Amino acid sequence: MKIIRLLLLLSLFHLLFSCQTEMVTYKSFEDYPTYAGSDLGLRYSPERAIFKIWSPPASKARVKLYERGVGGTPLVTQLMKKGQSSTWTAIFEEDLAGKFYAFQVFIGGKWLNEVPDPYAKAVGLNGKRGMVADLQKTNPEDWEEDVRPPLKNFTDIILYELHLRDISVQPASGIEHKGKFVGLTERGTTNPAGLSTGLDHIKELGVTHVHLLPSFDFKSIDEAHLSENKFNWGYDPQNYNTPEGSYSTDPAVGTVRIREFKQLVKTLHANGLRVILDVVYNHTGDTEGSNFNQLVPGYYYRQDAEGGFSNATGCGNETASERPMMRKFIVESVRYWAEEYHLDGFRFDLMGVHDIETMNAVSEALHKIDPTIFIYGEGWTAGASPLPEELRAVKKNTFKLNGVAAFSDDMRDAIKGHVFTPDAKAFINGLPGLEESVKFGVVASTQHPQIDYEKVNYSKTPWANEPSQTINYVSCHDNHTLWDRLLNSCKGEPESELIKMDKLANTIVLTSQGVPFLQAGVEFLRTKAGVENSFNSPDSINRIDWTRKSMYRDVFEYYRKLIQLRKNHPAFRMPSQELIVKNLQFLDIRENNLLGFVLKNHANGDSFKNILVFYNGNEAGKMVPVPEGNWMVICRDGKIEESGMGEMKGAKRVKISGRSALILVQK
């Protein structure tokens, strides 16, 4: 009671002080003072809790403490003291661990809504209030001994994109903690046929990085009613700096989700896998009611010509990364995730909304922590933005980015067809004229003297300085799975032919330079029952069907061996544009849907002297030229055997079957 009385007296003192604080008016957001300190949000110790927010337009600010994350009345309401650069501070000289808090600011003659601050590192149920937490106590056992698996070059990466719920929710997964962070830490899980699932499956497949779809706290799932089994991808951010509660075993206690996410990272690291977090700083799930907007209305967002929220994201708003305090937030947020959670990389949703300077600041900050942290994103927007394109991190400006990669829609659509035309064909199913576009993907969007850039589908000039700046892929969570796409574009074709096209598609991806990207489940022909935009579809659509691993064991084995081939042979993952020009030579083949190239002279230190790669997207088999010498076949007719499947001595031409790849090597 003595403490409560003291707090009430302090509140009265701050009330008297704040009544004398006049609101400062500014002509524009550019006139707002910026704060350079790194202590916004909550600084906790057992002896003291210091709360600090930034709000130039506020004339008063207060923090409320609660016993629970939702409901109830405040234990205390304390007015905050205005400090330098329009910051507001409240100090509690006691241990507040386990208490919850929210802020309010007084603007325009009224108190705005209670919200956590944007920097909140722990939250309660549904993210409505921040939680005071001792982060040291959230560390798993031996957390300080956790280390990132080794990585020499970014081009050694093989990305595997998955959703936490998708990977485990089906009964056939054999995973106990379905839809939870800890579900992906379970070992020894199998499908009904005894084949590995979950983490063991990912290890067996051989990828290097697990890309987690948004796993920060997002808005659309009611954490109080998880039995309703609602689904969402998570591209509706609410609290950026704390994990999503629905993926934890107890979303009401903010420290549980933190500990379990850290355990996931630690377990994946221990099993040789790095972890990428999909981040969504380009927009917020709520607009008017967001944490940003309730503390500094309008500042964190771009405005359109009428003064409303601009919408390059298609989600009702777009953040203004070029404004100093938004840029500061993004940089400090990713730095926090990298340091506190030991994350190994970040995928930026709609990266083209962000400005180049911000993305380069992100790269600089992260690579100071660890130069092997990988950063990539979507080099486009979902609509027009008021920020000029020459300032934005769109694909064609990738060459202006330092250590940041972009997805190649050039390669994606050249292989399987225009992404928004579900029945469109492309290279793998016989549409002519895309050979230069595929070659552009093979050299990872870099400069190469044998590419006719005028014939590339989208990009008429190289956009990557180095191959590590290009993400090659054919499917991801967006749009149809590769298998569903083939069902749409090749109606009436027998399943055996579709499987040929499927294998060919990702053979191109995994034997090209750059960084390959796979959607989880593609290795056994994942389907979403034809649903293209499954962001809030039920589990029956989104879950990975682990019985398909048994049904399509041959496809899985092909993918596994293809990945191993890439990992075993550095010729497929040269780290520089100069090495590609020196060691990758296209053969003079002038037929539709047919191309070949040689990786020569022990490229990038490869044990094979020369590697000859052919892709045939035609239904019929074709004859292709073979350079002089003795060659061993390691990939043919949808099979891969690195030890060899026969030799060819002195042949000048060889037949490659329809819709397949052929790989020959010289030792």
Task: Report, as residue numbers or ranges, the catalytic residues.
Answer: 349, 378
Q: Are strands 622-625 and 60-66 parallel, antiparallel or unpaired?
A: unpaired
Six token digits for residue 613? 């790669």
Six token digits for residue 524? 């056994």
Strand partners, 589: none
Please check whether residue 321 is in contact with residue 355, taking contact to mean a CB–CB distance below 8 angstroms: yes
Q: How many CA atoms lie within 13 A of 272 on its CB side?
A: 11
Taking alpha carbons only, the member of 585, 565, 580 closest to residue 636 is 565
Query: 196-218 as b/e, with b when 16 or more CB fall inside 10 Å?
Result: bbbbbbbeebbbbbbbbbbbbbb
Please check whether residue 467 is in contact with residue 514, taking contact to mean a CB–CB distance below 8 angstroms: yes
CA max distance for the chain:
94
At residue 215, what is the residue type?
S
- CA separation, residue 564 to residues 551, 601, 637, 664 (Å): 22, 21, 18, 16
Q: How is 454-482 classified by DSSP, letter by letter? A: GGSSS-SS---SSGGGEEE-S--SSS--H
Rounded distance between C-alpha atoms, residue 175 and residue 567, angstroms: 29
Torsion sign, CA atoms 326, 330, 331, 332? positive
Rounded distance between C-alpha atoms, residue 399 and residue 56, angstroms: 36
* Chain Cα centroid distance, residue 379: 13
Please check whether residue 323 is in contact with residue 299, taking contact to mean a CB–CB distance below 8 angstroms: yes
First-last CA distance in the chain: 82
Rounded distance between C-alpha atoms, residue 262 and residue 242, angstroms: 11
Please check whether residue 637 is in contact with residue 602, taking contact to mean a CB–CB distance below 8 angstroms: no
Six token digits for residue 228? 């309703």
Q: How is 598-626 classified by DSSP, letter by letter? A: EE-SSGGG-SSSEEEEEEE-SSS-EEEE-
- CA separation, residue 8 to residues 4, 75, 200 (Å): 6, 10, 56
Rounded distance between C-alpha atoms, residue 219 and residue 30, angstroms: 30
> Burial, 473: exposed, middle or buried (Cβ in 10 Å; 0-12, 13-18, 19+)?
buried
At residue 581, what is the residue type?
V
- CA separation, residue 566 to residues 210, 389, 524 (Å): 17, 36, 19
Strands lying side by side in the sheet with 48-54: 41-45, 48-54, 87-92, 81-82
